[in-house]
Amino acid sequence: MFFVVSNALCLTLQETAREFQEGKVVKFSVLGHAKSKGTNFSIKYPQSWMAKEGDRPNTVQSFVSDHGKGLEVVSIITKAIPPEEPFSKADIPSYLSPDQVGRDIPPGAKLIRAVSTKIEAEPAAIIEYSIQQDRAGMVLESHIMALQFFQGRTFVMVSFYVGRLSEAEAARRFELCRPLFFQMINSIVFDGKWK
């Protein structure tokens, strides 16, 4: 069973991208959040989206389209590297290499691309994949793009995904959202870096 999405919703996605371009955004900062694990950055999201506290231990915050009722979700996830695990800034490029992040996708997922990049002049990676999941007796398809980077000894992943659809519909909706998702990525600021 899949959720049916009308063409009218596609206009809503385009309007949301326009909303972001027009500066109708909300800025969210992880600084001081109980799950931020010492990170300090901010991201902007469209004002028509709803911010929700993350239910899971490593999910700082999620932003959901259509005032919290939509199929598009952006989640901020942080994971601290245990103190006993050797890790230095010199290790970051290998952790974020396309080969490494490509191996980190969930079992059964289809890798679409994995690339190295930079965010705020720091090493980062973008990984994109699709995955089919069985949840509560329903088979759901999700299309996911995740930006990954480190701040100190904390791994950060900002996931952009469209889900709960057929494979073709998830991919189509994701392509409509891609410009907005990249605008959101480009809104990320490492707030303490430039002081």
Domains of the chain: 24-160+167-186 (3.40.1000.10)
Do 149 and 122 meet the contact criterion of CB atoms below 8 Å apart?
Answer: yes
Do 130 and 143 meet the contact criterion of CB atoms below 8 Å apart?
Answer: yes
Q: How far apart are CA 85 and CA 105, in angstroms?
A: 22
Q: How far apart are CA 149 and CA 168, in angstroms?
A: 30
Per-residue confidence (pLDDT) for residue 45, from 0 to 100: 96
Residue 135: band (very low, low, confident or very high) from pLDDT cuts 50, 70, 90: low
Q: Tell me the pLDDT tens digit for each residue of 10-65.
A: 446 677 878 888 999 999 999 999 999 999 999 999 999 999 988 888 999 999 99
Q: How far apart are CA 28 and CA 7, in angstroms?
A: 30
Q: How far apart are CA 89 and CA 103, in angstroms?
A: 21
pTM score, whole prediction = 0.89
Per-residue confidence (pLDDT) for residue 165, from 0 to 100: 66
Hey, what amino acid is at 132?
Q
**Angle, to 10 degrees, between the axis of helix 167-186 and the axis of helix 7-21?**
10
Do 31 and 193 meet the contact criterion of CB atoms below 8 Å apart?
Answer: no
